[in-house]
Homo-oligomer: A and B are copies of this chain.
Amino acid sequence: MREVKLFVVGLGAVGGGLMRLLADKRDVYKRRFGVDVKVSAVADSKGVWAGDDLDPSEVLRVKEEKGTVAAVGEETDPLSAMEDVDFDVLVELTPTDIETGEPGLSHVMKAIELGKHVVTANKGPLAVAYSEIMEAAEEAGVIVRYEATAGGAMPVFNLVRETLRSVDVLSLEGILNGTVNYVLTRMEEEGVTLEDALAEARNRGIAEADPSMDVEGWDTACKVVILANSILGVECTIDDVDVTGIERITPEAIEIAEERGYRIRLIGRATKDGDLVVTPALVPKSDPLSRVKGTMNLLRLGTDVAGDILVSGRGAGPLETASAVMSDVLAIAEGISGLERRHPA
């Protein structure tokens, strides 16, 4: 049985989801893929816990009871711990910082330098340094996968890479932020203000305490950058995106749009020519983009020979996002493609 040993940095919602997923499905993955996914180390902001084969349920318990895995591990930095721990794949799940990409960027570069593969759900490093990361990875002969960075459980990058080989994707546009879409949907349905809809979203755990990254469009812009680099081959960073948020959208604007047959949606858009835009747009009600409700995400790919291809899925959620991370881990673990997977059940 092949083994893949993970070094997981970041034990917030997604990291927790990943531990739950592993606790539940490790045996399924063994059976289905012949791959044993082991946790060699976990790290949060306070320290690192390394071990031969950490029990994911135990990691969750410690984290919940003690607040940090440093309680049983060591007060140390993942950067130095990576040098000592025996692992195959860095799983980078620290919070996104779109100014510096840190601390994720350093973690990712360190892992690559050590010849380790990387799976990340952190948008920061890719939004500020996509090309550098990919060049370093190519040189080191390691794989960097990042399915969870755009659209949570909605398959996007691997969809294009693995299933649309024969076509060229010329453009893409989508609804890529569940919080904003939830807020716009609520304003539409209830006639409430942005502030009220946001307060509701916060109460329901959909919006973060400080939702400015979402509302101002920067979260969507990160996703546009990663999509444009990865799918369209446009070399760009977050600085290249023309970003307008939904701060000024009023219930009145939504009502007027509604009367004229439109809905207002925050759209992220990119073309092969390098046009990168995030903006609230009037979307005709007949367009599938107008029909995405609540926290769902939707991406439309414009292709040369296959027409439009749409994909939709949950844009967030700990377990949903963790499932995308785990799919990346399994793809790397298999080494070669799913061609090997013969038994679906």
A341 within 8 A of B: yes
How many residues on chain A are close to B (CB under 8 Å)? 68
Contacts of A324 in B (CB 8 A): 166, 306
Bound-state CA distance A288–B319 (Å) is 23
Bound-state CA distance A167–B165 (Å) is 23
A337 adjacent to B331 (CB under 8 Å): yes
A13 within 8 A of B: no
A337's partner among B231, B288, B303, B337 (CB-CB below 8 A) is: B337
A320's partner among B153, B165, B272, B305 (CB-CB below 8 A) is: B305
B291 adjacent to A341 (CB under 8 Å): no
Contacts of A247 in B (CB 8 A): none
Bound-state CA distance A218–B106 (Å) is 56
Bound-state CA distance A341–B134 (Å) is 12
A313's partner among B169, B306, B314, B322 (CB-CB below 8 A) is: B306
B338 adjacent to A165 (CB under 8 Å): yes
A308 within 8 A of B: yes
Bound-state CA distance A29–B306 (Å) is 16
Copy count, this protein chain: 2
Q: A138-B342, A164-B155, A232-B344 are in contact. Are A306 and B320 (CB under 8 A)?
A: yes
- Against B, the Cβ 8 Å flags (1 = close, 0 = not) of A227-268 are 000111110000000000000000000000000000000000
- Interchain nearest-CB distance for A36 vs B (Å): 14
A327 adjacent to B165 (CB under 8 Å): yes
Name the interface residues of A17-40: CB closer than 8 Å to any CB of B: 21, 24-25, 28-29, 33
B288 adjacent to A312 (CB under 8 Å): yes
A168 within 8 A of B: yes
B305 adjacent to A319 (CB under 8 Å): yes
Bound-state CA distance A165–B232 (Å) is 24
Q: Known pairs A25-B166, A159-B159, A332-B339. 19 more at Cβ < 8 A?
A: A21-B305, A33-B165, A143-B339, A162-B163, A162-B337, A164-B327, A165-B326, A165-B338, A166-B323, A166-B326, A232-B345, A233-B343, A288-B288, A291-B291, A305-B323, A306-B324, A309-B312, A310-B310, A337-B337
Q: List 21 A-B contacts (CB under 8 A).
A: A153-B303, A153-B307, A160-B344, A161-B341, A162-B162, A162-B338, A163-B327, A165-B341, A166-B329, A166-B330, A230-B344, A232-B345, A234-B345, A272-B345, A288-B291, A291-B291, A303-B323, A306-B314, A306-B324, A334-B337, A337-B338
